[in-house]
Structure 1
């Protein structure tokens, strides 16, 4: 933050009524040849002191999946997660936020190496990550939906047995794939075939639409906020609230960085309580997914 500094000589002139006029720039005679130099030196010293009090926070995101984090048509990094974390750091003047785009896996290895302080990528909890990183308070409450090929004749999904014998597609290690894996473990006589893949989400959605795959599971905000309205897919959508209770998304920091996590939590609560989070969610997700909770989930 730049501060305007008025030299003692200029202050004296102001007090004496030497400066006059309205709306125009007034040239003020300098008291000595050192006034300008002294003013510049004072300004630079104050600016340097202010910067010394600000800690730069290096955040990482993969710019995927949309609408949480992505590069827009003008080449700008944006999305619900991006605007939300910026709103959080607007409440934290002791920090300066810098966001870098990297591979998703590099968010975690970068935090491990100390390259990054913060992960911003609609991150869900799992035991392996929770053992290594600190999660902030939830930044979004989420629920799952099943995107099902239109030729599969079901009316609702209560426990996934309706899809026994069908083909699910999704990446290994994904929280949605874990839901299907857990179902298979509990129903060995009514299993679902899992086609593990690293294909992008739009490809998977087209695979379900075409019948190459039978269904996938995804976050309702992702489908409702982007893929559904953008691509007008001819598929059936089923709520999975009976299969999987509401889940949460978080920001993550290094395990030993408790101060940063606490500061983010305090500012995040303000952003939620003031309705800023709601505005951001509606803009990017079509509805409000702000968590109305105070405890850490």
Structure 2
């Protein structure tokens, strides 16, 4: 009897251990059930995407995406800071799930990437040394030097201008240097101008106070840069479900005032697109 009782006790303990182990495995599985979304960003286009004092990714574009993912609990968010070329290539290859860098729309790019709903309305300026009023269009920039990054909409527009106007070309210097470096070069005269988003220019001027001025890019030249004045997240074509999930939440954030609040935080005003922009995707 004692042997049978001992055997029953051993079996009971073993069974309990097995059940607990199984529960432990299930708990671990539940904890790791979330899908990690890898987000590629430059971290150099303040105030849209930058690195905070704590070493974390931040900026308007980043904060909007973080707000989106809070409403999509099935996903974890992981940011990868990289250059522009790697952002595009990595998103296409599947290394990254979303590319974030205040990207505008272009028909050429839309053949390779899916676009989210827009989350920001942007404007462009010609930045020159204070007192230099001679550069205010692609035509008046002929023969002048600027610094550009490969693959971005502004660069594509300048490349197209040079191709179509061989006798009025601008001198493009390709670099992945950070924007403040370029602004300093304009201030000291080694570079003549740069086209950037006004919010970026203001953010850097508030910090560095370079001897620079900004002139609005005309509507005609703006159309060469982008087919509209909005910013979007980019996805590979096989990420349509993720894009649609992000879009659903972006529309909610527009409706509940989150986009407006984040605009106030980063720009001092609401820069969210009109409600009509959240009805239909571009592709």
Smaller-chain TM-score bracket: 0.7 to 0.9
Cα distance in 2 between the residues matched to 1:119 and 1:178: 18
Whether the aligned pair in 2 keeps the contact of 1:172 and 1:196 (CA below 8 Å) is no
Residues 54-63 or 270-279, more deviating? 54-63
- Where does the alignment leave 5 or more consecutive residues of structure 1 unmatched? 1-32
The answer to whether the aligner puts 1:240 opposite 2:225 as a matched pair is no
**Greater Cα radius of gyration, structure 1 or 2:** 1
TM-score when scaled to structure 2? 0.78
Contact 2:42 2:49 (8 Å CA) reproduced: yes
User: Structure 2 CA distance, aligned partners of 1:254 and 1:185?
Assistant: 29
Report SS of the residue matched to 2:38.
strand
1:57 aligned partner:
37
Quick check: 264-273 or 142-151, which moved more?
Answer: 142-151
- 1:231 equivalent in alignment to 2:216: no
Answer yes or no: is 1:136 the counterpart of 2:121.
Answer: no
Residue 44 of structure 1 and its aligned partner are, at CA, apart by 4.8
Q: Which has the higher helix share?
A: 2
| Correspondence 1:117 to 2:102 | no
User: Who is 2:3 aligned against?
Assistant: none
Alignment-derived partner of residue 8 in structure 2: none
Please say if residues 44 and 179 of structure 2, whose CA atoms lie closer than 8 Å, have aligned partners that are also in contact. Answer: no
User: How far 1:42 moved relative to its partner?
Assistant: 9.5
Residue 259 (structure 2) aligns with: 277
CA deviation after TM superposition for structure 1 residue 172, in Å: 4.2
Change in Cα spacing, 1:148 to 1:131, as seen in structure 2 (3 Å) is: same
Q: Are the structure 2 counterparts of residues 39 and 238 from structure 1 closer, same or farther at C-alpha, using a change threshold of 3 Å?
A: farther
Q: Does structure 2 conserve the Cα–Cα contact (< 8 Å) formed by 1:146 and 1:218?
A: yes
- Cα offset for 1:185? 4.9
Instruction: Measure how far apart 1:244 and its partner are.
Output: 0.7
Matches for 1:161-240 after TM superposition, within 5 Å: 161-185=139-163, 187=165, 191-198=168-175, 199-224=177-202, 226-240=203-217
How high is the TM-score relative to the length of structure 1? 0.74
Classify 1:153/1:258 alpha carbon distance in 2 versus 1 (closer, same or farther; 3 Å).
closer
When the two structures are aligned, how many residues end up with a matched partner? 260
The answer to whether the aligner puts 1:263 opposite 2:236 as a matched pair is no
Extract unaligned runs of 5+ from structure 2. Answer: 1-12
Give 1:237 deviation, angstroms.
Answer: 0.9
Alpha-carbon distance between aligned partners in 2 of 1:172 and 1:101, rounded to the nearest angstrom: 16
Q: RMSD over aligned Cα, in angstroms? A: 3.1
What is the alpha-carbon distance in structure 2 between the residues aligned to residue 129 and residue 267 of structure 1?
Answer: 24
Q: Contact 1:170/1:194 (CA < 8 Å) preserved in 2?
A: no
Q: Post-superposition shift, 1:166?
A: 3.6
Report the CA distance between 1:144 and its aligned residue. Answer: 0.7
SS in 2 for 1:257: helix
Change (3 A) 1:41 1:281: farther
Q: 1:42–1:205: structure 2 CA closer, same or farther, 3 Å change rule?
A: same
> 2 CA distance for matches of 1:192 and 1:240?
18
Q: CA deviation at 1:236?
A: 1.8
Shift of 1:277: 1.4
